Amino acid sequence: MPLTITDQITLADWEMTESFTRSSGPGGQNVNKVSTAVELRFEAARSPHLPEVVKRRLQRLAGRRWTREGAVVIQVEETRSQARNREIARERLAELVRAATVVPKKRRPTRPTKGSVERRIKAKKVRGVVKGLRGKVEE
């Protein structure tokens, strides 16, 4: 089923592939028999549903989860349930894409106020006087 990110962005099923492997950790015999770990692969670079700026932000946010082919790979093996791990993987993908849709606020460089500069200089002078008094005492 399609994954809805925002009102404008919905990811189709063909863009995501899931593969299942045996999970590590607790689970007794179940861990050796059942493939519960999920690897969700989203073909972000080929996605027609994502604008180019969102793809670039997604690549930066995904970090090492972004492959050379332009896919985002999310691995989940938190629970013993395959279905729950699938849900978690889809939620994480949705959160990642949602974060990429947010336009970062442009940074405006600011300058220190005249008062703060004066206070800084005054404090430095006071400190210099204190250090100057630390010299040897002459008799």
Q: Which two tokens stand for residue 72?
A: 């985002």
Q: Give the pLDDT of residue 137.
A: 79
Determine whether domain 3-101 maps to CATH 3.30.360.10.
no
**Overall pTM surpassing 0.75 (yes/no):** no
> What Å distances lie between residue 116 and 62, 107, 112, 122, 133, CA to CA?
40, 21, 6, 10, 26
- For residue range 90-115, list pLDDT tens digits in order: 999 999 998 998 998 999 999 999 99
What pLDDT, on a 0 to 100 scale, did the predictor assign at position 91?
92
Segment 78-94 shows an average pLDDT of 89
Arithmetic mean of pLDDT, 46-62: 90
Greatest alpha-carbon span in the chain: 90
Instruction: Output the pLDDT for position 60.
Output: 92
Q: Does the pLDDT value for residue 124 go beyond 90?
A: yes
Supply 29's token pair: 């015999």
- Reply yes or no on whether the pLDDT at 25 is more than 70: no
- Please report, for the chain, the start and end positions of each structural domain, with discontinuous segments joined by +: 3-101
Share of residues in the chain with pLDDT > 70 (%): 96
Residue 21, strand partner residues: 37
Using the structure block, give the residue that is written with the tokens 């027609």. Answer: 48
Are the C-beta atoms of 74 and 97 separated by less than 8 Å? no
C-alpha dist (Å) from residue 117 to 68, 121, 122: 49, 6, 9
* Triad 19, 21, 23: Cα angle to 5°: 135
Q: pLDDT tier at 16 (50, 70, 90 boundaries)?
A: confident
Element (DSSP H or E) covering residue 38: strand 37-42
